[in-house]
Amino acid sequence: MTRGRKAGGVVRLVSVAVVLSIILVAIQSSFFHPTTGPVNLSTEEIRILSHFQSNLEQCVANRGLGLTAHIIDHCNLILKFPQGTNSTWYNEQFKIFEPLEYKYDVCEAILLWEQYRNMTTVLTREYLDSRPDGWFDYAAKRIAQLGADKCYNQTLCEEHLNLILPAKPPFHPRQFRRCAVVGNSGDLLKTQFGEEIDNHDAVIRDNEAPVNEEAILMKIFVAFPFLLADNEVLIIKSVIHRDFNAMIKKIRNPVYLFQGIVLRRGAKGTGMKSIELALSMCDIVDIYGFTVDPGYTEWTRYFSTPRKGHNPLQGRAYYQLLECLGVIRIHSPMRAKRKQDWSDVPSREMINNAHRAALLLKKKQAGQEGGLGQFVNCKVWGKSGPYGTGPVSGSTDMTDTRKYSNYNRWEVMPFESLREEARKHYIQMEGVSLYKMDGNKLDDLVCVKHPLKS
């Protein structure tokens, strides 16, 4: 539709689009059958999204410390670094220095990131059982030694995965109110932000130092209500490994495998994975130490030598977009002295409206009317037992150390012990857990139904 139009005359373009679509709708409803006529743009959705865009523009102006947003249309915008920003990051692949401007589809971004709030991001047995290719194909990709082979022998694959495979989701959407995600430059912030970070309901620490080539750990520390030594959960971000299994048997902590990875991209963008994980269980996600601090123009400060695959400008722009979409809150030394004021970040209500508008628009453009229910993207359905039942992870291969682990506290936690918001969500979702089929696909979900508690 209006996507792909170049910048310039922005306001005029939007208003022309609005007028045109009013006329189109009027003509269409009188002459054509509504389902076979040309795609009609909805003026109401465009109005809501345009309003959201101006709010975003203002938010970037207030919080970006130099970054500016330039609206192209109701869905697209460009984030620009100020002139004079030193782009010292040379991309070997494209033979260019990092660009100083980035185009984003805000509608897609809202759909993607709001979806994470309802998602299960930890791999479970019910997920593998529900996917038609779950064990044979998908599980095989999550085990390092098998390489490209499939799980011709499911027993063998189960042996690899049992240790880290809970029967049902160990964590739930809306389980925590506030979570902190601490990036790999987090240590620098310890003295300044330590207490603030510890005041969260859960802390996700992104450990980018590879444990081995493939597996990367992410730790969740939960401040409440467990004791310190036992309150750490490990999440492996890419694939399980035989050596890794041996290590897991020696520790008491629960260990799980992150589900929503994009398989071909491997361990890249691990900061994003932590945010996805956090969003799948927390209302508010505060990020610390992510080398995306606003206001810097000298990017070489962050890394001693330019490493391949680092795109600090691109990262910085994207994180700023996420903040102004209401997905994360960026905390940085540059902002420490500023008042913690989030009034320019969109409210829950505003995000919900924009999400609905973006969804309606997308459906109309695809020629699909109606069907906006919460299960509209469920491509595959599965069934599982009631909440809190089923074997706990590792129960078929329990070392003495793991027998005293607390992981079953998550996996068999009574429904009644969940936070009220999480229980409400569960009931509203009719006991259905949503999983991604593939990490970067918006539309294909695996949906597993659990019986509701009577």
The C-alpha angle with vertex 322 and arms to 318 and 324, in degrees rounded to 5, equals: 115
**Minimum CB separation from ligand NAG for residue 9, in Å?**
33
Q: d(Cα 6, Cα 135) in Å, to the nearest integer?
A: 46
Q: Give the nearer residue to ligand NAG in terms of CB position, either 154 or 212.
A: 154
Q: d(Cα 283, Cα 300) in Å, to the nearest integer?
A: 34
- Report whether 276 contacts 116 (CB < 8 A): yes
**Minimum CB separation from ligand NAG for residue 279, in Å?**
12
Find residue 76's DSSP bridge partners: 105
**Minimum CB separation from ligand NAG for residue 227, in Å?**
31
Q: Is the dihedral of CA 249, 255, 256, 261 positive or negative?
A: negative
Q: Give the nearer residue to ligand NAG in terms of CB position, either 230 or 421.
A: 421
Q: Give the nearer residue to ligand NAG in terms of CB position, either 93 or 155.
A: 155
Q: Give the nearer residue to ligand NAG in terms of CB position, either 39 or 156.
A: 156
Instruction: Kindly report the length of the chain.
Output: 454
Enumerate binding residues for ligand NAG (CB under 6 A): 86, 88, 114-115, 118, 153, 155-156, 159, 300, 374, 425, 428-429
Q: Give the nearer residue to ligand NAG in terms of CB position, either 374 or 440.
A: 374
Q: Give the nearer residue to ligand NAG in terms of CB position, either 71 or 360.
A: 360
Q: Starting from the edge strand earliest in sequence, which strands make up the sheet with 378-383, in order?
A: 378-383, 445-449, 432-436
Query: Encoding tokens for residue 395?
Result: 């129960």
Any residues with CB less than 8 A from the CB of 331 and at least 6 apart, and which? 189, 193, 196, 286, 287, 288
**Minimum CB separation from ligand NAG for residue 352, in Å?**
9
**Minimum CB separation from ligand NAG for residue 364, in Å?**
17
Query: Encoding tokens for residue 188?
Result: 């620098």
Q: d(Cα 39, Cα 364) in Å, to the nearest integer?
A: 7
Q: d(Cα 102, Cα 99) in Å, to the nearest integer?
A: 7
Query: Encoding tokens for residue 216?
Result: 């990367």
**Minimum CB separation from ligand NAG for residue 375, in Å?**
8
Q: Give the nearer residue to ligand NAG in terms of CB position, either 81 or 288.
A: 81
**Minimum CB separation from ligand NAG for residue 224, in Å?**
23
The three-class DSSP label of residue 323 is helix
Query: Encoding tokens for residue 285?
Result: 């996600």
Q: Tokens 């309901």 sit at which residue?
A: 201
Task: For residue 396, give Cα distances in angstroms to 122, 125, 163, 399.
Answer: 19, 13, 8, 10
- Report whether 18 contacts 43 (CB < 8 A): yes
**Minimum CB separation from ligand NAG for residue 303, in Å?**
12
Q: Give the nearer residue to ligand NAG in terms of CB position, either 89 or 221.
A: 89
